[in-house]
Amino acid sequence: MGKKWTWTLRIGVKDLAAMELEEHLDESSAAALPRRESLRLQRRQAIITVATRSFLDHGYAATSMSSIAAAVGGSKGTLWSHFSSKDDLFSAVLEDRTEAFRRNLSAPLDPDNNLHDAIRSFCCQFIAKLISPEAIALHRLVISECARFPQTGTIFYERAQLKTLRLMASFLTLHMEKGGIRQCDAMMAARTLMSLCSGGSQQEILRGASYAVERIETDADFIADVFMRAFTP
């Protein structure tokens, strides 16, 4: 808490220029296609890395496509060929930052796992993510900007929160079919669980209080027990 989340990227104009030149070389070998695609993906990731730092350091309003192009190096055309707007780029940043997290959440949500253990494991991982410096910074960014730029709140919900909600709802639906969870609105049940996770951890940090990581397992135990009592037959 108190540390600013930063990223370091060292990529020069010559590096990107070389990438652009290599991409447009007339190579007859079919083996060159995977390399060109690899360079394209590297360039796209470089843009996302710079954009992430810019959004978190300067906010959504103060971040411009021109400033990102200048920070990355290369032409504005290269940036626009990957992202058609600042909203599109903001969406990509959120997708990039949450994709690995959702992959990690998929492991405990194996339908063959013990239901209580799976819920508890999900809570542990979800709380740990919620209190990470990056997640707090992104949350504060959206809160500070969504009044002037409502699309930031929409993008954040669709790219981050909604996808995690659907992941948990799918898991709960499978257990409803097995009889482990009582029949109810799976999305509402998933939202209830996630709200329990964020209410005592992320919300404390957002209002300036501290949250010790040692509390994660204790809180996860309590939340899993409450959820099971509320939603199991």
pLDDT digits (tens, 9 = 90+) for 163-214: 999 999 999 999 999 999 999 999 999 999 999 999 888 888 888 888 889 9
Domain end point (choices 84, 107, 138): 84
pLDDT at residue 26, as a whole number:
43
Statement: residue 90 has pLDDT above 80: yes
Q: Which residues contact 210 (CB under 8 A, 6 or more apart)?
A: 1, 204
Rounded Cα distance, 63 and 230, in Å: 44
Statement: residue 81 has pLDDT above 50: yes
Residues 151 and 167 grouped into a single domain: yes
CA distances from 32 to 17, 35, 45, 108, 187 (A): 18, 5, 20, 40, 45
29, part of any domain: yes
Residues 101 and 152 grouped into a single domain: yes
Query: What domain count does the chain have?
Result: 2
Residues 222 and 178 grouped into a single domain: yes
Residues 160 and 75 grouped into a single domain: no
Q: Within a 10 A sphere around the Cβ of 39, how many other Cβ atoms?
A: 16
* 103 vs 2, higher pLDDT: 103
Domain end point (choices 33, 66, 84): 84
Residues 46 and 117 grouped into a single domain: no
pLDDT at residue 8, as a whole number:
35
Q: How is 108-176 classified by DSSP, letter by letter?
A: TT-TTS-HHHHHHHHHHHHHHHHTSHHHHHHHHHHHHHTTT-HHHHHHHIIIIIHHHHHHHHHHHHHHH
Rounded Cα distance, 164 and 142, in Å: 17
Q: Which residues contact 45 (CB under 8 A, 6 or more apart)?
A: 96
Residues 93 and 156 grouped into a single domain: yes
Q: Which residues contact 188 (CB under 8 A, 6 or more apart)?
A: none
Residues 20 and 72 grouped into a single domain: yes
Domain that residue 216 falls in:
87-231
39, part of any domain: yes
Residues 109 and 222 grouped into a single domain: yes
Mean pLDDT of the chain: 83
Q: What is the pLDDT of residues 13-59, one digit of tens each?
A: 334 334 443 444 444 444 555 888 888 888 999 999 999 999 999 99
> Residue 7's closest CA among 44, 39, 50, 68?
50
61, part of any domain: yes
197, part of any domain: yes
Domain end point (choices 34, 52, 84): 84
Statement: residue 5 has pLDDT above 60: no
4, part of any domain: no
Say if residues 123 and 219 touch (Cβ distance below 8 Å).
yes
Residues 18 and 112 grouped into a single domain: no
- Portion of the chain with pLDDT greater than 70, in percent: 86
Q: Is the CA virtual torsion 175, 177, 182, 184 positive or negative?
A: positive
Q: What is the CATH number of the domain that holds 126?
A: 1.10.357.10
